[in-house]
Structure 1
């Protein structure tokens, strides 16, 4: 990185390198702070075209609350299939674990910096490997707790899962100079459809089409006779009032969507009373992100009120269709409360049948439906998390069994006592690692007969319990198979400190690297 901040091509380069290292049948879930913009670039410009079908994009949990509500509905990992309870903050936790090196690395040389980072990363890797069994146990307990809570919430909602599987349509309603003409064209198309259904004698569909045609004609103020209706419609196509009316409808719908999104985003903050330190950071981040979007909502409101004033002027000057009523302005004061009697819900003068002709959807008006949807989503993520943990547990045992088999083969082929001694130390570490995992790994209810056994025997694992006492007496204790090692014990043990030699060798390797400045 040669400039401030990360660029999008940095992400593309990392993803390209990742796909070069994994099999072709693996799907990748990509959690990124701005995954929405990343996927849009891929779809629009053809980036990562070879891998796009194997990629699932989602925004990491902490940053998801900074995005707009529509973006959260699509890219939030808790609302997107396949991510379980993964939060995407692993990199941040790693940066935090090595943050104590910042002060020293600022003043050290290039090679010393690289060496220090590599040693710290290697140490973190070894430490995390030992804690892997405990990590699976904690994630399993968290998933089980979530499952219990969500099943209770789902029962309390009184709604079936089939009913809760609803997907609200998300669309952007914009303003154009042809809105009025589009409304006129829609009426003309409906008239043609009514005539066609009359010719086909389709009574049921004809009644429905005729009802919709009457409603749209009334919305446009068309009350002329049949002979003059086409001429009247052609005149409305260029009507300034109709153009303002359709744009006002678009602005009001956008304003409602933004106000609803704001209310849903602040719902978690307003309902929380007890906050931990990490939760407090998340709530503060969410609240600040919502506050940053308030000027946009205020701007949409002011533009809508401006259109309302222009429509009132046209009505007063007699330049509006017959019977036209100018809509009421929405006062800026109190717009954030969203009370039931606010002007934002009134559609007088707009005839916004698309919004007000039906009852509000349950996901918006029914609190039990909203809580049921949240519980259903968390229940789905819990099932995905359990499946992911089983795969992690399976991969853990397969990896260990392979490492155990390799080290035992290497010990059998060792040509000197020194080589054999070093390999025995590696095997001892594996036995201790297996003993640590054996105490921590939970029972996931999976069938382990299809995967290879761990490798160490029960006696080897039991010997780890007295390892501290053996070390206190200064003895070299190995957890190998029962075999005659008398000849090896007579040979001289290595006098050098192997760990010190390894560290010195690594340091010498970095010192020997030549770079041009």
Structure 2
């Protein structure tokens, strides 16, 4: 079934490419709540077996499995890919993550929308009818299970979803799908949605930052819904079974249309990837920096900004070691500069140091988000519609007050240190930060740690943090690597398509030769 729908994605003869290299294939999923059905339109006798839609019983059974799994204890070996606090924040940001959010009136509509999974060529793979108030996880997970069961047992798949981090947490934390499936899948967030996520989540889930993802954008479902939009006024007033029939037929038509133009699609993407690679290489040349150096800086940035994730047992061990460390801590030996200072001063200084590190991480995440958003508005990146731009900007600004409060607390600690400091200690008091978040980007004090090091000389901030040429070079180098990965994947898809054609030709020749 899958190979006939998209031989470029599923025509592989050897499966099992590692997930950290992009996996075997990429699939994107999303729901559409415009394709709803009016309750007054009624229903008619069943007359058609859908090719793309999963049965309602299958989807509902998955919903029951998810509900039952959440009532049980989490997996003992659960290790989050994104910290719980970050995933919680992302979940609150997106309306799609609210399973109880009512997208339309249940009194007026009995079917609220459609959920679909498409391949990276925008070919529809499977669909599910949404008959609940919100975009519940059962739709995505039931489609995932359907696809994974059709694939070889060694196949690896990367799924892209606007709340991929939230679904990934559910599948890792609870016994919803077999381990044999979850071990062969990875999750990213589609390219128009990362900037509504926390920056640590973006580092781990943005496809443009992940090795092996190429230029896959995960927005194929949006293009699929665009091709189905003319059916909205028709299916809304059709009977329920006729609505499924029309949508299923439209999906089949779209599949055939894209299928016949796969060669052109691949050729255009190869040309586009080559152009982007040339532009990225030119940007790197303008910085005068070596690609090896830029990659090393990017690795250091990811390591510094990516969140720490540990299992419960590892976390307990860390807590035990931390308690032992604090019990035996000798501040005067660990920090010679603090020798002779009062306990209150040392406590305040260390608190200011930790708070400033937290402020810097959050502020840098905001800078990157706003920078990318401004590039998109200016036409340098993917174009954003007015509504999406406002929602993304709103999600960024929503986190502004929390950052401002943290800065105010830090400035208060600076006042306390100024009051407690004694000249004979010769310990530099940290400078205050601007309470205006937009002014922090050009404030060099943001990038300087509070001085509690062993040596009097302050540690110089890394180049990726303060050098604009390095930061520009990092972005260009990451883009260049994604373009090269895209070219490799496109050549592999072209090979899959040719092999599929030869297999079909041999079958046809054998059929014609038989009596």
Q: Any idea what the Cα deviations from partners look like across 1:407-456, whole Å, max 9, x if unmatched?
A: 44444558xxxxxxxxxxxxxxxxxxxxxxxxxxxxxxxxxxxxxxxxxx
The answer as to whether partners of 2:376 and 2:383 remain within 8 angstroms in 1 is no
Q: Any idea what the Cα deviations from partners look like across 1:455-491, whole Å, max 9, x if unmatched?
A: xxxxxxxxxxxxxxxxxxxxxxxxxxxxxxxxxxxxx
The answer as to whether partners of 1:308 and 1:328 remain within 8 angstroms in 2 is yes
Residue 363 (structure 2) pairs with residue 262 (structure 1)? no
Residue 498 (structure 2) pairs with residue 397 (structure 1)? yes
**What is the CA–CA distance in structure 2 between the aligned matches of 1:326 and 1:385, rounded to whole Å?**
50
Q: Any idea what the Cα deviations from partners look like across 1:302-335, whole Å, max 9, x if unmatched?
A: 333344455567x39x9xx977776554342x33
> What is the aligned counterpart of 1:41 among 147, 170, 174?
170
Flag the 1:31–1:264 CA change in 2: closer, same or farther, 3 A.
same
- Residue 25 of structure 1: SS of its match in structure 2? coil
What is aligned with 1:124?
Answer: 254
- Residue 394 of structure 1: SS of its match in structure 2? helix
Report the TM-score, using the length of structure 1 for normalisation: 0.62
The answer as to whether partners of 1:164 and 1:369 remain within 8 angstroms in 2 is yes
The answer as to whether partners of 1:82 and 1:381 remain within 8 angstroms in 2 is yes
Deviation of 1:343 (Å): 5.6
- For CA contacts below 8 A with separation 6 or more, give which structure has more relative contact order: 2
The answer as to whether partners of 1:187 and 1:217 remain within 8 angstroms in 2 is no
Indicate the larger mover: 83-92 or 14-23: 14-23
The answer as to whether partners of 2:289 and 2:470 remain within 8 angstroms in 1 is yes
**What is the CA–CA distance in structure 2 between the aligned matches of 1:356 and 1:184, rounded to whole Å?**
30
**What is the CA–CA distance in structure 1 between the aligned matches of 2:230 and 2:457, rounded to whole Å?**
58
Residue 467 (structure 2) pairs with residue 366 (structure 1)? yes
Flag the 1:358–1:151 CA change in 2: closer, same or farther, 3 A.
same
**What is the CA–CA distance in structure 2 between the aligned matches of 1:26 and 1:217, rounded to whole Å?**
56
What is aligned with 2:24?
Answer: none
The answer as to whether partners of 1:251 and 1:304 remain within 8 angstroms in 2 is yes
Flag the 1:261–1:341 CA change in 2: closer, same or farther, 3 A.
closer
What is aligned with 1:253?
Answer: 357
- Residue 95 of structure 1: SS of its match in structure 2? helix
Which runs of 5 or more residues in structure 2 are unaligned? 1-129, 309-318
Deviation of 1:342 (Å): 6.2
Flag the 1:25–1:171 CA change in 2: closer, same or farther, 3 A.
closer
Aligned residues: 367
1:275-354 correspondence runs (5 A):
275=379, 279-281=383-385, 286-308=392-414, 315=420, 327-332=430-435, 334-338=436-440, 340=442, 344=446, 351=452
Residue 225 (structure 2) pairs with residue 95 (structure 1)? yes
Which runs of 5 or more residues in structure 1 are unaligned? 174-178, 192-212, 224-235, 415-517
**What is the CA–CA distance in structure 2 between the aligned matches of 1:342 and 1:258, rounded to whole Å?**
16
What is aligned with 2:268?
Answer: 138
Flag the 1:347–1:124 CA change in 2: closer, same or farther, 3 A.
closer
Report the TM-score, using the length of structure 2 for normalisation: 0.62
- Greater fraction strand: 2
Q: Any idea what the Cα deviations from partners look like across 1:130-170, whole Å, max 9, x if unmatched?
A: 22121111101111101211222222222222212232222
Indicate the larger mover: 35-44 or 293-302: 35-44
**What is the CA–CA distance in structure 2 between the aligned matches of 1:36 and 1:111, rounded to whole Å?**
34
Flag the 1:65–1:354 CA change in 2: closer, same or farther, 3 A.
farther
- Residue 459 of structure 2: SS of its match in structure 1? coil
What is aligned with 1:12?
Answer: 141
- Greater fraction helix: 1
Deviation of 1:186 (Å): 6.3
1:448-459 correspondence runs (5 A):
none
